[in-house]
């Protein structure tokens, strides 16, 4: 993997990531991630703003060739999204580019549900 990039700290909106420590803070609170989730997040954040192909992500995080038909990346992007969305509902971080890959970029999510008041 690539986490061995010493102990810099990455910031992205309300997120703070410490690759060296395997630690993610969301708005100051620790966000528990599994090894794969963490690796994927770091890989994406290190390439913020750019589109990263599944194949590249797999190489970076899984350290091997993406076999075709393998959906691991999709599944883990989903898991990451759920956790990030739970921690920071007002932000969208991981964006899909159909046919290309995923792009990390903190953007305000278009949420204006009053749904929490179902009458």
Partner DNA sequence: AGGGCTCGTTCACCGCTCGTTCACAACCGT
Partner DNA sequence: ACGGTTGTGAACGAGCGGTGAACGAGCCCT
- Residues engaged in binding DNA (CB under 7 A): 32, 34-37, 54, 62, 69-72, 74-78, 81, 96-101
Q: For residue 76, give the DSSP letter.
A: H
Contact of residue 21 among a second copy, DNA, none (CB under 5-8 Å per partner type):
a second copy
Question: Cα(78)–Cα(21) distance, rounded to whole angstroms?
Answer: 23
Q: For residue 102, give the DSSP letter.
A: E
b/e per residue, 94-108, with b = 16+ CB within 10 A? beeeeeebbbbebee
Contact of residue 22 among DNA, a second copy, none (CB under 5-8 Å per partner type):
a second copy
- Strand (E) positions, 31-100? 51-52, 91-97
Nearer to a second copy by Cβ, of 60 and 113: the residue is 60
Q: How far is the CB of 36 from a second copy (least distance, A)?
A: 9
Q: How far is the CB of 78 from DNA (least distance, A)?
A: 4
Give the number of C-alpha atoms closer than 13 A to the C-alpha of residue 41, restricted to the C-beta side. 30
**Which chain residues interact with a second copy by CB under 8 A?**
18, 21-23, 30, 32, 34-35, 38, 50-51, 95, 97-101, 103, 105
């Amino acid at each position: 993997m690539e986490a061995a990039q010493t102990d810099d700290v990455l910031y992205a909106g309300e997120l703070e990531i410490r690759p060296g420590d395997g630690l993610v803070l969301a708005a100051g609170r620790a966000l528990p991630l599994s090894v794969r989730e963490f690796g994927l997040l770091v890989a994406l954040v290190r390439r913020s703003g750019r589109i990263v192909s599944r194949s590249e992500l797999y190489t970076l995080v899984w350290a091997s060739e993406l076999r075709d038909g393998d959906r691991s990346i999709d599944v883990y992007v989903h898991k990451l999204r759920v956790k990030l969305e739970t921690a920071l509902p007002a932000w969208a971080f991981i964006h899909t580019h159909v046919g290309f890959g995923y792009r990390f970029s903190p953007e305000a999510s278009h949420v204006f549900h009053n749904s929490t008041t179902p009458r």
